[in-house]
Amino acid sequence: MGRFDQQVVVVTGGARGIGFSTAQRFAAEGAAVALLDLDAHTAALAAAELGASKAIGIACDVGDESSAQAAVEQVVREFGGLHVLVNNAGVTRDNLLFKMTSTDWDTVMNVHLRGAFLMTRAAQKAFVEQKYGKVICISSTSALGNRGQANYSAAKMGIQGFVRTLAIEFGPFGVTANAVAPGFIATEMTDATAQRLGMDPVEFRKANAEANPVRRVGKPEDIAAAVTFLASDEASYITGQTLYVDGGAKL
């Protein structure tokens, strides 16, 4: 028996990195999983890779109201319900403030904050009606401030305020809301950051590993473990919290 048998899970930005690893963990523990990503083909391929008996890939722009609503409705229609929402979709548009364009700012806010809002609002109907649901949003240690990431830092701290308010509003309906704030995680996104900075990705990872007490970089599986814990009934008395998963880097 898996922790998520008979449960339906949606993971946004689920085709790669943290999202895909999280979807794998849920599938391995018995969940029916819907992977949402911008590209339908990419989402479908990722869903097929899960090897789960029930897994689908859905094209969705989380920052678009009709797209988010349609995706949730499709999941409920095809799987018969919804129990866990993981708001993971994210992008970066890093730059120092005086170089940052309005488009850079709006793009990051649209995906991270507006996306989490629209997806959660669309999912709440199912959660409230069944008096059960779990919302987990991906924040970041960058919420505490990070040079060149005014947009990303603001969005990720906004996520933390968002889940605190959701916890207050949703609690009476049996729904919890929490966030996971990763530190440096070895993904395609952080490799791209290394290249943007003119660094070799391997050296970039090594430098980040040396900057935290456990002396290694995080893996997507580390975040997946935290997300699935908060989504489980073992964490039913935890809500409105942000769990930092960073190897102690921010101590």
What are the Cα distances from residue 250, in Å, to 92, 99, 192?
21, 27, 23
**Which pair of structure tokens corresponds to residue 18?**
């943290």
Dihedral sign of CA atoms 244, 229, 89, 84 in order = negative
- Look-up: residue for tokens 């395609």? 188
H or E stretch covering 184: none
207-211: long-range contacts at Cβ-Cβ below 8 A with a sequence spacing of 24 or more? Answer: 208/184, 208/249, 209/184, 211/184, 211/249
Kindly report the CA angle at 243 between 238 and 246, in degrees rounded to 5? 160
Backbone angle region of 242, left / alpha / beta, with phi > 0 → left and psi within -120 to 50 → alpha: beta
CA nearest to 91, candidates 49, 46, 138, 136: 138
Catalytic residue numbers, as ranges: 152
173 CB neighbour count, 10 Å cutoff: 14
**Which pair of structure tokens corresponds to residue 30?**
């018995």
